[in-house]
Structure 1
């Protein structure tokens, strides 16, 4: 192993089960680095046919990422090291740092998305040109890509055959413990440019979202307004590895919520109807293999049932989408999706899209979910499916615009899972069946007392549950009696809700 190594942190902001960190820690000296790539912030063009502009990172994920970076830096400092933060392309930053500290190798985790793979390829080429050895690892999934029964290019495009094959044939690798972190390169070493060891400031929320700065060391204080959480949210989702491990312990062991997960997972209100591990999994603060090992321990010590199986089942759904985007690349993000459909004519109606984004469609179950998303950056799985179905199947608006809006808003955004699920609902992804939801029937089924709707739409509070879900049925006299005037206090519906979807479960 070389005397000096760099570990390039990407979406793996943890010390446990981090193979890239463990490999780099075999060196005598180690420089941990995180790059704020300006290409991954601010307004971006969604290219190809019918291109449009959108913001890649919104305030919720920016806040979570900043907290995760702050925690990782703190943990590394406690270990006698540090986390250097730089603004710039990794292909520029990393070779320069390697030259400044005499590093012979850079370790990092690979990511499956085409944009992330392009950044990796560019960076690897630049490192090799500079005489630095790049070493890449895989730590994104429950099942390692090298352990799949077929090459990832041949993974079945249907989930069930994929699941059955890996459940039968593919072991799950054991987690790695957090390594002993070597010291930083010595500032007084003749081969080291001491200025290169300046840690740099944590990026502000504004910087991560896309605020302008020319300082390569990034600057700044957090933005209080951007970080303020909404007390109506199901969970505050603090960023960082300790918060991730605390949530894992609290959900499984202290609350014993895993025992009934399959029965509660379609909930809408409260912290514990689902695991809510996704923000930490997707920013890399929590390893999916660590979750698996905790579930195994839970099954041995408490109970093994449909619920414990189902949590692992959903981790495999997550794996499936990672391998699908790895296999199909840019095709995953096209209007016709993996099915290359040419028979769907997506509409573009800016006013209708805007009403959907702000929760003013006039359909309470849709609006409540969209207002929760805007206020908190989180949405239940049931909610995500319904608002996606409404946009694509009722309004016929391009599914990619909805997925891009989620990319901006979600605290737990993951390219593969987000776009994979949107394409699935839109009928252009990994399922040929029609996935249109009857949002009114879904509301009655999953929010029978309208507690969720009135939680996020206080203007409907006081209405009986049936009319809270369908306020357009109120007569003029009933509106006056309840103090809700349609078109003033709450909008009239954009569509006839009684014609929505076919209500898949």
Structure 2
């Protein structure tokens, strides 16, 4: 009798999850999620990998996933521990014959899977699925990942012309009987993560909860109730409130929502409401997201190298004082400070803010871009390894842009915050009850060393 275990990673949904659907074709199925302690420890630069905001959103998302699975009569085993320590034991206990999971390829994710493989009982088959793409790797018009162009426009135009986006998959059918009821089904308490839960700030532009249902609520609101999609391109550079931009990225990052689901909803909107440059621009941004994933597949360890994928030779600075002032929002630019305060207090920052603060750190101050990327990894709700490090390279003149995109923060402030509303909101903190979330003493750089490349293979397209 075949027994499948589905290991959830950054794919916390039941619909459009091909791996989960494949696992459910087995006679018996159970699922697991591991809160890996490595994710909450100090990373390569002396900065924790995951801070309070993403942790809170992840806990909400896993709890919502558990509720969705309960409706399908599928157990979710929740553990705080290394997948290499947890999963082989579950596999032995329940006689698992097949392990299914989303395929990942960056260093830490590869190391986690390697730890599981080393302790798997003999005969257990491992099935991996690419299911985080708009354009599936089997469908893109390139023979190998090495053929992916280093400039976005070429990739976009060729894929738009030649690739048909696959239809989203339905959720699995409800099972008649529950197999392997979860002995561990409670979320870990905050003490396990070594941090306090974040304090809510009423000014945040992201006052949403984690999970698949919450993601669809936001899509319903943004597309169908308010029809803000019709003005997306014109409003996406806003800075204050919930209306600018879709805010889908945190759910996309942990897989509570799939990119194909969004794409099909855009197509439906274009049929039923209107089709304009704004509706297309959301698809354009989704293709950018895909592109950074393909770049990481192509470039492997270069994603974390000081010279980026362009192998730029530059003596980056490593100033603890500059880092402290930038992270605390105490630089000589009010626009930079306001954005960094928003990030520190909420775990969110607009796309416009991210471009400016990254450019300021790496190009105005001349500091190592990787330290800035690690700070974003720590605080951002929507951290995604490919988009975060790809965008940081892009804005630090070491990535996928033949031009040097150096932003002038004062000019940007006059263009996108002409009234000063955004700066007043985040710099006049005395007007509000909100206080910083106190995620512990702010980390300081422990000395920049190139992240080790071990365990970060460049996969073939097969």
Same fold (TM over 0.5): yes
1:112 to partner: Cα distance:
3.5
Please tell me the root mean square deviation across aligned C-alpha atoms, in Å.
Answer: 1.7
Q: Which residue of 1 aligns with 2:425?
A: 455
Tell me if the contact between 1:72 and 1:240 (Cα under 8 Å) persists in the aligned partners.
yes
SS across alignment from 1:8: strand
1:125 to partner: Cα distance:
4.8
SS across alignment from 2:197: helix
- Could you tell me which runs of 5 or more consecutive residues in structure 1 were left unpaired when the two chains were aligned: 47-51, 188-196, 212-222, 462-505
1:382 to partner: Cα distance:
0.4
Tell me if the contact between 1:25 and 1:181 (Cα under 8 Å) persists in the aligned partners.
no
Q: Distance in 1 between matches of 2:190 and 2:360?
A: 31
Gap change, CA 1:265 and 1:100, over 3 Å in 2: same
Q: Which residue of 2 aligns with 1:78?
A: 71
Q: Which residue of 2 aligns with 1:230?
A: 201
Gap change, CA 1:174 and 1:43, over 3 Å in 2: same
User: Where in structure 2 are the equivalents of 1:198-277 lying within 5 Å?
Assistant: 198-207=183-192, 210-211=193-194, 226-277=197-248
Aligned residue pairs: how many? 429
Q: Distance in 1 between matches of 2:209 and 2:77?
A: 22
1:131 aligns with 2:123: yes
Q: Provide runs of 4+ in structure 1 moved above 4 Å.
A: none
Q: Distance in 1 between matches of 2:105 and 2:350?
A: 24
Q: Which residue of 2 aligns with 1:477?
A: none
Q: Which residue of 1 aligns with 2:415?
A: 445
Tell me if the contact between 2:316 and 2:367 (Cα under 8 Å) persists in the aligned partners.
yes
SS across alignment from 1:251: helix
1:339-376 per-residue CA deviation (whole Å, 9 max, x = no partner) reads 1112x111111111101101111311000000000111
1:235 to partner: Cα distance:
2.1
User: Where in structure 2 are the equivalents of 1:105-120 lying within 5 Å?
Assistant: 105-120=98-113
SS across alignment from 2:47: strand
Gap change, CA 1:459 and 1:410, over 3 Å in 2: closer
Tell me if the contact between 2:64 and 2:212 (Cα under 8 Å) persists in the aligned partners.
yes
Q: Distance in 2 between matches of 1:328 and 1:459?
A: 42
1:156 to partner: Cα distance:
0.9
2:283 to 272, 297, 312: 312
Q: Which residue of 1 aligns with 2:159?
A: 166
Q: Which residue of 2 aligns with 1:91?
A: 84
Gap change, CA 1:145 and 1:121, over 3 Å in 2: farther
Gap change, CA 1:75 and 1:460, over 3 Å in 2: closer
2:133 to 138, 141, 148: 141
1:241-272 per-residue CA deviation (whole Å, 9 max, x = no partner) reads 00001111110110100001111111101111
1:141 to partner: Cα distance:
1.2
Tell me if the contact between 1:33 and 1:83 (Cα under 8 Å) persists in the aligned partners.
yes
Tell me if the contact between 1:82 and 1:199 (Cα under 8 Å) persists in the aligned partners.
no
Tell me if the contact between 1:21 and 1:107 (Cα under 8 Å) persists in the aligned partners.
yes
1:163-189 per-residue CA deviation (whole Å, 9 max, x = no partner) reads 0110011110000111024344357xx
1:303-340 per-residue CA deviation (whole Å, 9 max, x = no partner) reads 11101110001000000001111121111101001011
Q: Which residue of 2 aligns with 1:502?
A: none
SS across alignment from 1:185: coil
Gap change, CA 1:153 and 1:89, over 3 Å in 2: farther
Tell me if the contact between 1:365 and 1:453 (Cα under 8 Å) persists in the aligned partners.
yes
Higher relative contact order (CA 8 A, sep 6+): 2
